[in-house]
Amino acid sequence: MVRPSVLILLIALVPGAFSSSVDEWIAEIFIPQRAIAGIFESTPIGLRYNRGFPRGIWGTNLAPDLGAYDEGHNEFLVQGFFWNKVKLWLANEPNRFDAQAVYDAFRRHVFDYMCEGGTWGCCVAGIRDLTCRYPPKSMQDVIFVLLDPKENMPVLFLFWWCMHSWMEYYSLDLKRDANTAMQLRRNLRQFCPSPCLAKPCRRIPGVLMPNKCKAIGPFEDDYECTCRKEFVWDRGTKTCTAINPCFARAYAPCYAPGTLTCLALDMQGPKCICKPEYMGKDCAQLRNACLHRFNESEPNGNSNCGVARGNLCNPVLGTDLYKCTCTTGWMPSLSLPYDNCAILNDPCAAGEGEEEKANEDKPRVTSSVKCQNGGYCISSPDYSTAACLCPTTTWGDQTHMGTYCETPRGIWSTWSVMSSCRKKNCGVSRYRWRRRQCLGEISHIETPNSIPKNATRPCFGISEEILPCSETLPCKTLRLTGKFRHEIFDFRRLYVFLLIVGSEVS
C-alpha cells in the first residue's frame, strides 16, 4: 500500500510541476557556500525543530526518503536510497566533526548527483537552457528528498548529521579521545537543536535544579534532569522516579551478611528481613534471644527468665538459644517447653506446688516452711530465708518456741505485789522489786528408746524484776576525828586487843 504522504508528493512529480523548484536549485548551484550555523534560530523550518526533532520521521513528508516502498506492487516507488548515497559520499570526509565543512561537501555531491556529473545542460547554461524544462531523474530525486535548497536541505542534512554524530560521540572513549570528544560536543551544541530550550525540567516533580538540563541527543525527548538524592532519572518515562530505599546510593540500609532480603513496599522506608543468626533494624547485630526471637510471636528470653524480677538471661549470640539463671526465690518450671524461672519459691507461701489459676500472669509458687501452733511465717525480701513468728500471750510472752513453733513453753505465774522501797526513809539509790514463778507444767514426750519421759516446759524470761524508786535525802553517818580513827585502826593495838579477848574466851 502506498503511503499517503508519498502519494501526495508523487502527484507533484509531473512535467512542469518542478519549474519553480528547478529554478531555485539551478540558482543555488552558482552560490559557493551556505552557512548553516544558527539555522534553527533564523528560518521558519529551523524554528520548527529548534527544540529537537520528532522521532520516527524518516519516510514521512517531514523527512522523505527514496526508500518508499509499494507493498501492493512489490516495488520501490523511487529507485535508489538517497541517504545511503550520502553516507558513501561522506564516508571519507576528513572533517566529519565539523558540520559546516561536511555540509559544504554534501552540497557539492548533491549538485554533482543532480547534474549527472555535469552532463545536464541546465547546470551549465543556467535556467535559460531548454533542458531545464525536462529535469533528469536524479534532479527529481533531489527535489523529492530535499524539497528546497535554502531551508529544507540544510535542516534535513543537520537532521542526518546530528543523529549520526551523537551516536559517534557516545562510541568514543572519553578518556583516550578526550580532545575529539570535546570538539564534537562543541559542534553538536553549535549546529544541532537542543531539547533543553523547552526547559522540560521545570515541569517534572522531584527535580533538584529545575533550570538545569542536559541534552543527550538531537530528538525532542533527548534530555536529562538532575533529580534529588532520593530520586533517580528514568530515561524511558522522562521522570524522576523514587529510588527503592533498599538500593539507596548514599548508604546500604541493610547489613548484607546478615540480611535475607530487603523490602520497601511503600517506597518510603526499607524493612530488612534478617537471617536467623542476626537481628536489629539493619540486621547488623548477632541474634540475642534474650531480646528478640527469630519467631517474633514467641516471648523473648528476658520475659521467660523473668529478668524484671531479678533473674538473669544468658544468650548464646548468633542463635535462637538462651539460658536462665534463677536467683534465690525462683526456680524453673519443668512443665514449660522452654527455659524459664516461672515458679516463685517463697518459703512462706501457702500450699506446696500451688498454681495461681486466677491470673495466668502470676508465677507458680512453692513453699518449704510451715509454722505450727499458730505461728506466722515471715520471709526475707529475696525469699532466701524465712522464720516463724510464734504466738504470744496477752502479756507478750511466746506460747511456743523452736524453728517452726513446735515446742510449747512453760507458763509464768502472775507477778507478785511490788515491794516497798529500800531504803525506806533516806538514800539516793533506792529500789523495789516483784517476783513471779514458772509454773512448770509437765508435758509428756517420747524419747528415742520409746520410754515415756516427763519433761518440764521451760519458761523463758526473768523471774524477778527490780525497779528504781524516787531519790530522798542521803542517810546520816558517824564521822570520827582523825586521831581517834588512827588509834582505833592501829593494827598493832588491834592485834593485842584480839589476843586479850581470845584468852578471856578460852
Strands (E), 239-382: 239-242, 259-263, 271-274, 278-279, 285-286, 312-316, 321-325, 330-331, 343-344, 364-365, 376-379
| Residue 306 pLDDT level (bands cut at 50, 70, 90) | very high
Q: Which of 67-71, 111-115, 354-358 has the highest mean pLDDT?
A: 111-115
Please state which of the ranges 328-332, 345-349, 448-452 shows the lowest mean pLDDT.
448-452
What is the number of other CB atoms lying within 10 angstroms of the CB of residue 335? 10
Measure CA 380 to chain center: 46
- pLDDT mean over 109-138: 81
Strands (E), 132-243: 213-215, 223-225, 231-234, 239-242
| Grid cell 527529481 in the structure block, residue | 140
Q: What is the CA radius of gyration of the chain?
A: 61
* Domain spans of the chain, in order of start: 22-191, 195-243, 296-344, 368-411
Q: Are 111 and 124 in contact (CB under 8 A)?
A: no
Q: pLDDT for 415-448, tens place per residue?
A: 888 888 887 677 667 888 898 888 766 444 444 5
Q: Are 284 and 258 in contact (CB under 8 A)?
A: yes
| Residue 4 pLDDT level (bands cut at 50, 70, 90) | very low
Please state which of the ranges 164-178, 266-280, 307-321, 431-445 shows the lowest mean pLDDT.
431-445
Q: pLDDT value at position 247?
A: 79
Side-chain-side CA neighbours of 420 within 13 Å: the count stands at: 3
Q: pLDDT value at position 15?
A: 38
C-alpha–C-alpha distance, residues 296 and 320, integer Å: 11
Please state which of the ranges 336-350, 372-386, 473-487 shows the lowest mean pLDDT.
473-487
* DSSP letter assigned to residue 131: G
| Residue 305 pLDDT level (bands cut at 50, 70, 90) | very high
Model confidence at 77: pLDDT above 70 = no
DSSP-derived pairing of the beta strands 386-389 and 376-379: antiparallel
Q: pLDDT for 383-426, tens place per residue?
A: 778 889 998 877 777 788 888 888 888 777 888 888 888 876 77
| Grid cell 502527484 in the structure block, residue | 11
- pLDDT mean over 461-475: 81
Exposure class string for 490-503: b at 16+ Cβ within 10 A, else e: eeeeeeeeeeeeee
Q: pLDDT value at position 138?
A: 83
C-alpha–C-alpha distance, residues 121 and 198, integer Å: 47
| Residue 357 pLDDT level (bands cut at 50, 70, 90) | very low
Please give the helix or strand (H or E) that residue 388 lies within, else none. Answer: strand 386-389
The sign one gets for the Cα dihedral 21, 27, 32, 33 is: negative
Q: Are 459 and 438 in contact (CB under 8 A)?
A: yes
Give Cβ neighbours of residue 393 (< 8 Å, ≥ 6 apart): 399, 411
Please state which of the ranges 248-252, 293-297, 474-478 shows the lowest mean pLDDT.
474-478
Looking at residue 347, its amino acid is P
C-alpha–C-alpha distance, residues 122 and 112, integer Å: 12
Q: pLDDT for 205-262, tens place per residue?
A: 999 999 999 999 999 999 999 999 888 899 989 999 888 888 776 778 899 999 999 9
Percent of the chain with pLDDT over 90: 31
Cell numbers at residue 153, please? 536541505
| Residue 478 pLDDT level (bands cut at 50, 70, 90) | low
Percent of the chain with pLDDT over 70: 77
What is the CATH architecture assignment of 368-411? Ribbon (2.10)
Q: Are 432 and 469 in contact (CB under 8 A)?
A: yes
Q: Hey, is 24 helix, strand or coil?
A: helix
Q: pLDDT value at position 62?
A: 65
Model confidence at 46: pLDDT above 50 = yes
Query: Comparing C-alpha atoms, which of 411, 462, 460 is closest to residue 440?
Result: 411
Q: Are 222 and 195 in contact (CB under 8 A)?
A: yes
Q: pLDDT value at position 1?
A: 37
| Residue 64 pLDDT level (bands cut at 50, 70, 90) | low
| Grid cell 513471779 in the structure block, residue | 436
- pLDDT mean over 281-302: 93
Q: pLDDT value at position 474?
A: 72
| Grid cell 541527543 in the structure block, residue | 217
Tell me if the bond preceding 281 is cis, omega within 30° of 0: no
| Residue 490 pLDDT level (bands cut at 50, 70, 90) | low
Model confidence at 454: pLDDT above 60 = no
Q: pLDDT value at position 233?
A: 93
Q: pLDDT for 159-199, tens place per residue?
A: 989 988 999 999 988 788 889 899 999 999 999 999 999 99
Per the confidence metrics, is the pTM higher than 0.75?
A: no
Please give the helix or strand (H or E) that residue 488 lies within, else none. Answer: helix 482-488
Mean of per-residue pLDDT scores for the chain: 79
